[in-house]
Every structure is written in C-alpha cells, then in structure tokens.
Structure 1
Amino acid sequence: MMTLDKYTDDLHKALRFHEISGERTGEVLAEVEAHVAETGEDPVDAFGKPRDYARQVAAQLDPSTGKRSTGGIVVSFIAIATLALFGQTFFGDGIALDEAGVGYTLRDVVAMPLLLVAVIAVALLVYLARTASENNKLYGGGAVLVLIAGLGAQVLCNKNLDDATPVITAPSWLILTLGVVFLIGMFAMLAQSIRRGRVRYPKKH
C-alpha cells in the first residue's frame, strides 16, 4: 500500500511534468487527500498510479482550465534552451573583455547550433516519454538515440572542422551584453514557470 504522502508527492511531480498550473494541481491533490481521508482507501486503488492519473487529469484540461498547450510547451523548451546555451557561452566568452574581441571559428558556428538542436530534441522526447498516453518507450528510445547522435556530431565537428580561423568576430562588450541579456531572459522564464507551478490549495470555506 502506498502512503498518501508518497502518492501525492509522486502525483504532484507528474502533474508538474504535464505543465498543469499550481492552482489546478492544488485542486487535484486536495480531492485525492479528501477522498483517502474519508474512505481510508489505498490511493492507488482509488485513482490509479500517480503517473497514469496525471495523464487522465491532463487529458481533461486545456489552456483555459490550467494546462499549457503543446505549442506553448515546445516554444518554452526552445526558448529556454536557446537562452541558456548561448547565454552562458556568450557570458563566458565576453567576460574577459579582450580588446581584440571574441572570435568564433567554423567549428563553433556549426557545433553550437547542432548541440542546441540535440538538447531541444532530447528534452521534447523525454517530455513525451513521460506524458504521452502511448508509445512512451518509443519516445524514450528516441531520446537516447538523439543523445548519442548529438554527441557523435560534436565529436565529428571537433575532428573535422577548423577551430583556428575566426569566421565571425565581435567586440567583447557586445558578446558580454548579449550573454547577460540572454541569461536574464532565461532566469525570467524559469521564475515565471516556478510561480505558475507553485501549488495553491483551494481555500476552505
């Protein structure tokens, strides 16, 4: 028998993975807790496994009732990954404020976008593996294959592309500024996501 605390903790994580709002999550958790407190029933027997029940809840919701749209989730993944990768890269490259500026070679120009694509693809496939109603193992296997392909692409770039001659050069202050702006944007998006996902139980009358 799964304890109520363990069940609600796992259910909370599963609902969060589905990008369900903290307000709606609080309502679902409150319903589970009230039912178990009243009946003494095992929550797994009453509602099913936490991940399965989270899928059922998510299937009944839309953006107007507490669940982000699939398009919104994809855009969020892409934006956060882009801001994080280029933000930390530009910040690290520009922080020295070298008078000669910052140069990016052919390897940099090719490898970084490939890395970004791999990161986004893996994140989306992991998301689908955790939330889809079917083909979960297929999505999980796809994530592993994309990860391996992404690592292989980086190895090929390191071995075969020029890393000595800059193809793009920019002032250090500009690169540093871009890095700071991108990182601020990333942290702002993460903060918004955290606020949205903060569990809020219904007020008791």
Structure 2
Amino acid sequence: MKQTTDYHRLAPSAEKDWVEAFVLEQRLLGVPGDRIGDALAVVESHVAESGEGAQEAFGEARAYARQTADGRKVDDLAPAWVAGVVLGLLGMLVTLAGVSPWLAGEARLEITLGWVATLVLTLAGAGALVLATETVLRLAVDRPWAGAGIVAAFFVVTVVLAVALRQPVADVPVVAVVVVGAAMLALSTALELREVLRGEVEDPILGPGETAPLRRVTGSGVLTACLMPLLTVLLVTLDWAVTALA
C-alpha cells in the first residue's frame, strides 16, 4: 500500500485539532513515524466503532501522546546534519568578516576579541541545540515569540560584543579568511545534502501495511541544505552594493 503525505488519513474520524496536537507531541518526543501511524490507527479504530470523539475517548491529545510514547525522548540529531549546520553558520560569519575589508581594498583583517566572542557564542548555541534538543524545539513550537526574541537577542549581543571588544588578537590575510569561510560553506552544504540524499532528515508517518515512498531529492530539501551559502551570497551582494554606492 502506498503511503500519502497527509497523516489525517490515518484517523479521519477523529477531531483534526486533536490529531495534530497528538502528532506534534509524539514528534517532539522522538517517536518514529511508523509508531505514530500505528497509534493513529488505534485511535481511528476506537472512534469509528464507538462513535466517541478522540478527546472523549483518550483524553487530552498531548497527555495521551506522552502516555503512549513509553518515556521516549527526542532522538539525537544526525551528527553530520548538526556538523553541517554549525559549519554553515560559522562559514557565513567568517566569509562576511573577510569580504567587508576585501571590498574596502584592505589586504589584512584584524581579528578582535569581539569577533572571537561571536564565534564562541555561535558554537554555544549549536551545543545547546544538540544537548537540549527537546527544550529548544518545545520553545520554538509552544512559544514562538519567545524563541524569536532569543534569536534576536543573540544577534544584538554579537553586534554589541563586536563594537565593544575591539582589542586585536591576530592579524590575517583577508583572502585567506574568505577562502576558509567559503570552504566551510562548501563542506556544510555537502554534509547536509548527503543527509537529504540518504533520507535521514525525513521520517514519514506510516499506517499499518504502508511502505515508505522511494527516496527522492526534493526542492525543499536542497534549498534547506543550501540555505547558508545562499544567505551568504545575498549578504555579500548587499555589502558590495553599499560599498559601491558609498
């Protein structure tokens, strides 16, 4: 039986909001897609036969999801994917740090304490994502404005550090900085594309008897893998335009 992408097909008799809340909680708990599908099939069987609503029969969706998850926690993120994201972010920061003085005609880049602090904060953020995946995901889902505020605060702090901590710690060729940044971006894209091709990023929700579709490269998957290089190109273009107009 071929699997379709809408998991509501597995419990059409249950309330749509209940099903969405149940699936989201199970995803946050790291339950595999096939087990989520089995649980939805059980819900559908009971609701269809009894005439009860899912809320009435099984209680609050998120509580029932935690009950049937058997104490599971969010699975570890794929190491290659995490490495790709971290390298991509660092590569973008390094490339932009080298491009600005290059466009201004400078041959060397003075690395300051603020620049080093920015890299350290970036690595710390990546570490938080890996070590506290469930907490980060719940914040993004349950309190999106708080999550957006934290991201905004991160960028504000990095700017303040860059301005306040101007003490030089090293002096390196601008070309070397740009080359290193571009290499990090290329490696990050390669790592993330490999995970997309392997299908490690996706875990489809399957009902009983359904089989996973053939793995194929989707436009959204490629776009996600290439996001950091594309953002870097956009920011470099803006930097060049500002420099040219100055």
Question: Given the two structures, how large is their TM-score scaled by the length of structure 2?
Answer: 0.55
In the TM superposition, 1:35-184 aligns within 5 A as 35-61=46-72, 69=75, 72-73=76-77, 79=83, 81-89=85-93, 103=109, 105-106=111-112, 107-118=114-125, 120-121=127-128, 127-128=134-135, 150=154, 153-162=157-166, 167-169=171-173, 170=176, 172-184=178-190
Structure of larger gyration radius: 2
- State how many pairs are aligned: 186
Pair 1:91–1:171, CA change in 2 (3 A): closer
Question: By how many angstroms is 1:103 displaced?
Answer: 4.3
Distance 1:175 1:102, change over 3 A: farther
Determine if contact 1:114/1:153 at 8 Å carries over to the other structure.
no
CA distance in 2, matches of 1:102, 1:159: 19
User: Among the aligned pairs, what percent are the same residue?
Assistant: 21
Contact 1:122 1:147 in 2 (8 A): no
* Cα distance in structure 1, aligned partners of 2:89 and 2:183: 15
SS at match of 2:69: helix
Q: Which of 42, 66, 76 is matched with 1:31 structurally? A: 42
- Structure 1 spans left out of the alignment, 5+ residues: 62-66, 132-136
Aligned match of 1:11:
22
CA contact (8 A) 2:95 2:178 kept: no
Q: CA deviation at 1:89?
A: 3.5
- Tell me how far 1:43 sits from its aligned partner: 0.9
Could you tell me whether the CA contact under 8 Å between 1:74 and 1:124 is conserved in 2? no
Deviation at 1:34, TM superposition (A): 1.5
Give the AA of the match of 1:59. Answer: D
Following superposition, the deviation at residue 30 of structure 1 comes to 1.3
- Aligned-partner residue type, residue 30 of structure 2: E
SS of corresponding position for 1:162: coil
Is contact 2:118–2:158 with CA below 8 Å preserved after alignment?
yes
Residues 151 and 173 of structure 1, relative CA distance in 2, 3 Å threshold? closer
Q: Secondary structure at the match of 1:157?
A: helix
In structure 2, distance between residues paired with 1:46 and 1:76 = 42
Q: What is the root-mean-square deviation of aligned Cα atoms in Å?
A: 4.4
Q: Deviations over 1:20-54 (max 9, x none)?
A: 21111111111111211111212122222222222
- The offset of 1:111, in angstroms, is 0.8
Per the alignment, do residues 172 and 122 of structure 1 end up closer, same or farther by CA in structure 2, a change over 3 Å counting?
closer
Asked if the contact 1:122/1:146 (under 8 Å) is kept, the reply is no
Q: CA deviation at 1:19?
A: 2.0
**Letter aligned with residue 111 of structure 2:** T
Judged with a 3 Å threshold, the aligned counterparts in structure 2 of structure 1 residues 105 and 95 are, in CA distance, closer, same or farther, namely closer
- Tell me the distance in 1 between the aligned counterparts of 2:107 and 2:45: 62
